[in-house]
Structure 1
Amino acid sequence: MTIRSAALVISPSRAEAIAAAKELAPLLYSAGFSLYTISDVSIEGIKKVAPADLPDIEIAVVLGGDGTILRAAEITLKRNVPLLGINMGHVGFMAEVNRPTIAAIAESIIAKSYVSENRMILRFAVERAGKEIGTGWALNEVTVERDGTTMVELFVEIDNRPLSHWGCDGLICSTPTGSTAYAFSAGGPVLWPEVDALVLLPISAHALFSRPMVVSPKSEILVTIESSDALLSADALRKIPLHAGDRVLITRDDQTIKLSHVSKTLFTDRLVAKFKLPVEGWRGE
């Protein structure tokens, strides 16, 4: 029998996630899976490894919320494998809307019957004194923010043309996936995942024009730091301190994240469930 491998990424702070992993592991193990985790948990049948030591896997299963999914994306992007998010009690925008049974989750993994969609990611590069000092990526958003109590001074260009100077708390560049995260809380628009666009949004800018903008994914967004310091953050996980004169180039990446679900769910239904939108009385099917 061919040995199959899967990673379970588990939120260690959620008792229900650990309980679900303990129930799921024997079902997958009995089907011939070798199981691994990068999470700080100890569960029989699941080998705990460092992310760098994780072997080839066919899927990563996330038992947790959207934050855990963002952490798991770091291991699936490099391997180009599906990322299956399971709702552990709180409706998110990347996990299942309704939590499937453990048996249904196991069956979808064993039969590979889960559905996947490719989600856009961003690529960034930081230049200092003419040299590239850092690169990275983000599934939700790249932000350039103040790194202290005073606002940052930023100059933004799009496609080699000047857009604006902003004194602000920061600037968000978001994917459609990230439009329901930090960008949403800052007043940005909600983009359906299949919309091919980026959101650019100054945070608390001292300017006459500081509205959210929807930008072509083919565009190059260049942010120059004009204040003494700032902080680049990618999905609030990967951070780079910035200094005056640093330039941050943000573009769409050629790679994508394969976000997967046990069953297909429309984004509209996800939006309704997340915000408990009033749809009572709708007579459609």
Structure 2
Amino acid sequence: MKIALHGLALKVEFISDIERLFQELEKHQIEILVTEPLDRALKMVGNKRLTYWLIESQEELESVDFLISIGGDGTLLDAVSLVGSLEIPILGLNTGRLGFLATAATDRIGEVIEYLATGNFQIESRSLISLECNRRLFNGINFALNEFTIHKRDTSSMITVHTYIDGKYLNSYWADGLIVSTPTGSTGYSLSCGGPLITPGAKSFVITPVSPHNLNVRPIIVSDECEISFEIEGRSEKFLLSLDSRSTSISSETKLSVKKAHFSAKLVKLPHYHFFDTLRQKLNWGFDMRN
């Protein structure tokens, strides 16, 4: 078995956890590969004892059985963009803060690797949202696990986003921006803007305005089989476009549409884990704040 490790940064206090992770992988005779960002992070904290193979090309990633994301949810989102259509199962080892997607705790490393080695897990398919436009953006990595966002830039004035579903006019949103979220992303930016919670297996997108001028405009849930297209107007000539944590600037002439990607993100689901448990534990959902 081959397992790739990916991370963007590493705090010194987590070195002992990383060493324990390597020990557990070696105990099960698992070949360890490391991505270049994590290799740089390990060198920055003075690693000289850990041995591994460095992944230097996408072709080397193709032979991997699992990828372990070491960090928070942002690192896992980066891992999804790294894996792309290879659909390598991803497990998030949480060394960040919230850990809504990166659910494996560092104090359970031995148990986690035992689950992987013995096949005691499930794979969840999470839908991705894919961007299509008339110019190349995001270095061709045009998909996201959480959300696609249009937002105003460099001005205090709102923008107008004319929105269409399969070519049929839906609404013109006068707002600071507009979010199209997957079920996975419904617990993120969309939620903070008043969007609904959606279970991961739901076949839908959520369109959520950001600070809308018309207060009667509310989020709407649409099928993920549809194509959503946009026309943007505003006083500024530039607008901000984002796929998860990646952002770029566009002009109003850019043609934009989103739909479900033809591939999905595969997330490792360990025993005794459930989405509802995470809602309660991470978001304090249903917690009686009067106590």
Q: TM-score, normalised by structure 2?
A: 0.85
Cross-structure match for 2:5:
8
Cross-structure match for 2:83:
76
Q: Does 1:29 align with 2:15?
A: no
Cross-structure match for 1:234:
243
After superposition, what is the alpha-carbon deviation per residue over 1:212-264, rounded to whole angstroms, capped at 9, x for unaligned? 11111111110112232212100012x33211222210101121111113324
Q: Does 1:114 align with 2:111?
A: no
After superposition, what is the alpha-carbon deviation per residue over 1:73-108, rounded to whole angstroms, capped at 9, x for unaligned? 123333211101123364432122755522112212
Q: Does 1:145 align with 2:142?
A: no
Amino acid at match of 1:24: L
Task: In structure 1, list runs of 5 or more residues that go unmatched.
Answer: 281-285
Question: How far, CA to CA, are the matches of 1:187 and 1:251 in structure 2?
Answer: 22
Contact 2:74 2:245 in 1 (8 A): no
Aligned pair in 2 of structure 1 residues 17, 259: CA closer, same or farther (>3 Å)?
farther
Question: How far, CA to CA, are the matches of 1:89 and 1:236 in structure 2?
Answer: 15
Report how far residue 12 of structure 1 moved. 2.1
Task: In structure 2, list runs of 5 or more residues that go unmatched.
Answer: none
After superposition, what is the alpha-carbon deviation per residue over 1:96-154, rounded to whole angstroms, capped at 9, x for unaligned? 27555221122122223222110010011122xxxx44451010000011121233232
| Paired positions, count | 272
Question: How far, CA to CA, are the matches of 1:109 and 1:19 in structure 2?
Answer: 21
Question: How far, CA to CA, are the matches of 1:226 and 1:278 in structure 2?
Answer: 40
Amino acid at match of 1:67: G
Contact 2:179 2:190 in 1 (8 A): yes
Task: Report which stretch shifted further, 30-39 or 76-85.
Answer: 30-39
Q: Identity of counterpart residues, as a percentage?
A: 28
Task: Report which stretch shifted further, 18-27 or 173-182.
Answer: 18-27
Cross-structure match for 1:41:
41
Question: How far, CA to CA, are the matches of 1:175 and 1:72 in structure 2?
Answer: 17
Amino acid at match of 1:253: A
Cross-structure match for 2:95:
88
Q: Which runs of 4+ in 1 moved over 6 A?
A: none
Cross-structure match for 2:278:
270
Contact 2:81 2:144 in 1 (8 A): no
Cross-structure match for 1:283:
none
Aligned pair in 2 of structure 1 residues 133, 89: CA closer, same or farther (>3 Å)?
closer
Q: Does 1:193 align with 2:195?
A: no
After superposition, what is the alpha-carbon deviation per residue over 1:177-226, rounded to whole angstroms, capped at 9, x for unaligned? 00001111111111111222111011112225421111111111101122
Amino acid at match of 1:252: K
User: Secondary structure, in 3 states, of the residue corresponding to 1:255?
Assistant: strand
Q: CA RMSD in A?
A: 2.3
Q: How does 1:234-253 map to 2 (within 5 A)?
A: 234-237=243-246, 239-253=247-261
After superposition, what is the alpha-carbon deviation per residue over 1:33-54, rounded to whole angstroms, capped at 9, x for unaligned? 2212222322512344446474
User: Secondary structure, in 3 states, of the residue corresponding to 1:101?
Assistant: helix
Question: How far, CA to CA, are the matches of 1:20 and 1:54 in structure 2?
Answer: 26
Report how far residue 11 of structure 1 moved. 5.0
Q: Does 1:254 align with 2:262?
A: yes
Aligned pair in 2 of structure 1 residues 92, 232: CA closer, same or farther (>3 Å)?
same
Task: Report which stretch shifted further, 70-79 or 41-50.
Answer: 41-50
